[in-house]
Chain A
């Protein structure tokens, strides 16, 4: 365990700037106004001014106090709805639908306002898990940039008028352009509409295309569909560029499955093995047991070699020795686990996917880890259909186009051609909820309602249905687009009636329908068994030939990827923008990811060089590079991310939006969609020959990686993450336990540490003692918990300028640690939040006792008592306390206090946006410290529920927001005093992997972690040394 984890390059080098930086709690100097060299009286705010202000404010306060109390009204309902009790939250099952993604959710509705989204535990795939995007989607409902009424040519009209006008303008042939439609009723309605307007057609277009898979599956399995994957039953997982934990296909579901395979039973330590090949560092790559880097142009060769290797013919055609070894390892793992092996490939190339299918056949995945019964409906778009549509539009053979959920004017690689074609379409109708790039160009705009305002259904996978019901009356004059289609096709039913008719008998009558709405889902009566599809290998040979003759890579290659939080369409959501990307830890921008090796040659930054590393890392402005792809150029700042292939760069999609999308897109990044390439069949997210040059300019990027350090000058501390390999663990399971014992020996060892390690008395904790356990093995760093915490606890969005100054407010952050080789390091993610220390150093130093300890083990924070000395934050070894430098939430009575803030922050304080605030949590104002409260509002609610029912507290009563959001089940929370609580049992069952962070300080954290165990073959350094020592 001597292995060194490092968070920043400075830490690795122990550079000067790093050492200086760790001495200070806050990054910026104290904001003294005026020139210090001049005399005090000459300062900008001299003593007399101070006295004047003091006198004035005292007088003003006296005058204000003598005024009468304002009269407040209490207005009850005129007629109280039966099932609403003011102040009591109701949960309604509904469905999140965005860009084809479907997730069954529960919407928490407080006094008529949906304020939080939780996963629906009846959803058989995601099982109550959510993603950052799902968590943040509730804010989209209250987005001030939403369209508020229907328009013709930008002028407000009524729905009657627009219906009338469209009836006259609907010219054939009509094309309905949508993202993947998963709703069976919507499909039926589209069919009805097409029947009414003969010659019309429905074109499906996905912003991020999966056509390669669809076509490959058609070629090899005869089904233009995507199967279900089962990572939980796979013992060997090989991914070639598929970021399945972050963005690929169904990350929430896969994250949950993956964590199942990674859960470690201490008594029988076995876990799945994941080998990852990628060009640019991704979330999945960071989690892999072993990761190998390659150029994007080598994808075909890797697949070919892997196919050959699993067929026992050895690895051929790979020159890079490391990569070759990696493929051999992958092949070995796959063949050893036939029937429990799975290969996934992120390429959108048909041939690559055909070969992937062939490999999966060879390792017997079909029907075992790949299921053809419950096929996935979330991606149906085939690029060729859309190419044809663009051709038709430009040829003038499209009379009317109806656009819903698709935004090709932004997301199509050749957007200009689409825009030109759109001009030639006589009638353009958009159902866009916001004035996105395509909607802006349409004549008729009938804004669609948000999914939380809508009725609907969805079939995410064949045979599994999820239902949508409104949780709030539409906020604006919006109409569901299905209603419009029904009206225009002459159906007199509205969509609700249509939906009820459709499901009436299928769901089992009125009672069945009610049940479906209450549950939110209808699943097959008996869980359908995994099934195989017949494989037709005829196309494999041609695919292999095609891959072999694929384009050769140039000097530098480009990968265009999706960010976990932003995806293709999330940039307008400030919560997602401010969530640090798990891989790069950057917020508010996109950038060019370069490897440390490329940084050396291109940017002359050697990260092993003390001064250069500091210059790069300490100063937010990053060098700007210019990337040229076939005549198109883009200038973006460069970030050096280890774990990226030296000759490959990466740029994220989803940025550079139209300013009409909202305040949070303004000045945020540039669009990478034009850099995508088209290979004649499918859109490719790689470009194998690009040029990159340094421009010599700089651009600030709000990186949070170097904020909140642990180290202090008080001395070296043991590391806060503990990582082992499976081999090490098997050989020496009690390594961590012994290490802890050894470290605490001077204070009585583990057993007596609590009493002997301190001068303070040990306190009684009758009743409840809250505790949490976080399994680093299950955590994949996706960030759902971070956003869930934001939503639940009214955490302020501070905007890019404030993040640059280290003022971000997140109560829960996910720290990224590297270890090993700088070019291809191992990565560990560690969720870090207030540890609720029982001997908390922050509590002792508060001069006003604003932070103190509760008998239930909570480290409490009383905002109204806090005077903002920040001593607590200074004394916190975990750096989890946050200070409100400005009035981010608009909670101050004097609006002037918000002056310095960016537009995004002010926009978050709009009356509309503020509807999302949780009324059970105080909105903090300027000058107070805040931090994780273990969701105390939920704890109190849970306890009250138990008291009302006169029974002891159970695990199900209390779940923290982060715990509930996590799909991987990495967070366990409960009453430690109850030996039967989940968290107590977990700690008891995993004595060897449990540890407290910075335990030797005797702060007695209430949170324990379970060490990360990586299933890589070689033991990390230490074990090897040990072997040497033994021999």
Chain B
């Protein structure tokens, strides 16, 4: 948790530094562009839709542009240029965005202006996160314990010797000294210590059985989340469409990949390396996808026949046991939890690995700490007493209403 927060902070700072020079307007525009436009448009490259660089020059009349964005099909009936566009990109018709205000559209246009052409400049350096050094004291403690143990042993030995000397001096003589390796109390002590350590390790090992933190299998296609979600800033939900609606976030079907990859047929971003450090040819990986899709690169989006597609058999990374009910929409939509909370910094992973151990303790911990959308979600209006207690300070508003407080750690929230 701690290291994640630090990373998140670094990322945010990095992003702000990188884009600090841009106007605030463009800043909004970037977000808007990524959420609404980026799935079909790039700034300098033709995708499903045209490259948007120079859009201002092509649409000198801003009112026309607004009308087009709000309702492409409707506007095309009144405008020859728009009709031409539709014809050019048929059969795909641009989705209307009536929810975007005129100001929003202008912001997007402003943002487009600020994006440098990658063919002219080198690729922009992505935000680099510095991995904070986790200070680890366990070695120190270990050494200290060892030293203390040795000191204790020495003292015991000294004590025994002194006793022996004292006894001899007083003339008791008698008992033959037992060497410490045959001293029963030593042996008993060591046995107990070993037993405790062994038990601890066994129990820990047993609990770890079936957990697969850091599982990072080789996938049929070297799909990089870093390239898609990180560098190209594609919204997670664009591909994982089920995430707001159902249990499964869903792995995108081939036709969703082909929305973009009918146009994007080669990779020329920064070099990709797999987990072993070998270089990966991005273009070859895209061609693998095309093979699954039954798409010939020479052809265009329009005459690709999706019925030729075969599903990609991805290796499943996150495996919850069958007796656990987990619902993505519950967390992402109702709980407003960021994907990264459970999946780690997915936008920085080339190959995905399991970030959390998905153990019950891990789930419960989060449920204990995470606040629900108590004020924002109308569902919680029925918890009148809690609202009252929050108001009159009986419940610490900084701590807020956690998932646990509304029963989120009870058995039948996840097991039924």
Residues of A within 8 A of B (CB): 65, 69, 71-80, 85-88, 764, 766-768, 852, 854-856, 858, 860-865, 920-923, 933, 936-937, 940, 943-944, 946-953, 975, 977-978
Contacts and interface: CB of A to CB of B under 8 A. Distances in A.
Contacts of A948: 244, 329, 333-334
A951 B379 CA distance: 4
A62 to B, nearest CB: 10
Interface in B306-363: 306-307, 309-316, 319, 322-323, 325, 327, 329-330, 333-334
Given A76-B251, A85-B245, A865 B411 contact: yes
Interface stretch (B54-62, B192-200, B209-217, B267-275): B209-217
Contacts of B248: 86-87
B412 interface: yes
B182 interface: no
A185 to B, nearest CB: 31
A79 B252 CA distance: 9
Contacts of A72: 315-316, 319
B279 interface: no
Contact of A78 (B253, B334, B410): B253
B391 to A, nearest CB: 15
Given A88-B247, A940-B325, 15 more contacts: A65-B206, A71-B316, A74-B251, A75-B313, A78-B310, A79-B306, A87-B248, A767-B382, A852-B410, A922-B415, A937-B325, A944-B329, A947-B334, A949-B378, A951-B378
Contacts of A861: 411-412
B251 A921 contact: no
The 3 closest A-B pairs by CB, nearest first: A87-B247, A947-B334, A74-B316
Given A766-B385, A947-B379, A864 B323 contact: yes
Contact of B311 (A75, A855, A951): A75
B366 interface: no
A72 B212 CA distance: 13
Given A72-B316, A854-B407, A865-B411, A952 B381 contact: yes
Given A73-B313, A767-B383, A950-B379, A86 B253 contact: no
A65 B251 CA distance: 29
Given A74-B251, A79-B306, A933-B416, A946 B314 contact: no
Contact of A862 (B215, B246, B412): B412
Nearest to A89: B246
Given A768-B382, A862-B412, A951-B378, A76 B253 contact: yes
Interface of B: 206, 209-210, 212, 215, 217, 241-242, 244-248, 250-256, 292, 306-307, 309-316, 319, 322-323, 325, 327, 329-330, 333-334, 376-386, 406-407, 410-413, 415-416
The CB with the most chain A CB atoms within 10 A, among B251, B382, B406, is that of: B382
A76 B255 CA distance: 11
Given A766-B383, A944-B327, A947-B377, A80 B412 contact: no
A87 B247 CA distance: 6
25 contacts: A69-B210, A71-B315, A73-B314, A74-B251, A74-B314, A78-B311, A80-B255, A86-B242, A86-B250, A88-B246, A766-B384, A766-B385, A852-B410, A856-B407, A860-B411, A861-B411, A864-B415, A922-B323, A933-B416, A944-B329, A948-B333, A952-B378, A953-B379, A975-B382, A978-B382
A73 B315 CA distance: 5
A951 B382 CA distance: 9
A920 B251 CA distance: 20
B289 to A, nearest CB: 12
The CB with the most chain B CB atoms within 10 A, among A75, A921, A977, is that of: A75
A764 B380 CA distance: 16
B120 to A, nearest CB: 38
A751 B413 CA distance: 32
B410 A854 contact: yes
Contacts of B245: 85, 88
Contacts of B306: 78-79
A85 B316 contact: no
Contacts of A953: 379, 382
Contacts of B386: 766
B253 A65 contact: no
Contacts of B215: 69
Contacts of B412: 854, 858, 860-862, 933, 936
Nearest to A862: B411
B253 A922 contact: no
Given A767-B406, A858-B412, A944-B330, A79 B309 contact: yes
A72 B315 CA distance: 6
A65 B206 CA distance: 9
B242 A87 contact: yes
Contacts of B383: 766-767
Contacts of B292: 78
Contacts of B244: 948
Given A948-B333, A950-B379, A74 B315 contact: yes
Contact of A76 (B247, B252, B406, B411): B252
A108 to B, nearest CB: 14
B316 A78 contact: no
A920 B378 CA distance: 26
B379 A946 contact: yes
B19 to A, nearest CB: 32
Contacts of A75: 311-314
A79 B376 CA distance: 36
Contacts of A855: 406-407, 410
A923 B322 CA distance: 9
Given A75-B313, A79-B254, A933-B416, A85 B410 contact: no
A952 B380 CA distance: 7
A950 B407 contact: no
Contacts of B410: 852, 854-855, 860
A940 B412 CA distance: 9
Contacts of A88: 242, 245-247
Contact of B325 (A768, A856, A864, A920): A920
A168 to B, nearest CB: 38
Contacts of A767: 380, 382-383, 406-407
A31 B149 CA distance: 54
Contacts of B329: 944, 948
A756 B324 CA distance: 39
Contact of B246 (A78, A85, A933): A85
B322 to A, nearest CB: 7
A88 B244 CA distance: 11
Nearest to A111: B248
B415 A862 contact: yes
A87 B215 CA distance: 25
Contacts of B322: 922-923
A794 to B, nearest CB: 11
B202 to A, nearest CB: 10
A767 B314 CA distance: 42
B378 A950 contact: yes
Contacts of B330: 944, 947
A80 B253 CA distance: 6
Contacts of B315: 71-74
Nearest to A923: B322
A76 B314 contact: yes
Contacts of A978: 382
A736 B334 CA distance: 45
Contacts of A944: 327, 329-330, 334
B242 A76 contact: no
Nearest to A951: B378
A972 B380 CA distance: 23
A940 B416 CA distance: 10
A940 B408 CA distance: 11
B103 to A, nearest CB: 26
A52 B313 CA distance: 43
Nearest to B317: A74
A219 B251 CA distance: 67
A87 B255 CA distance: 19
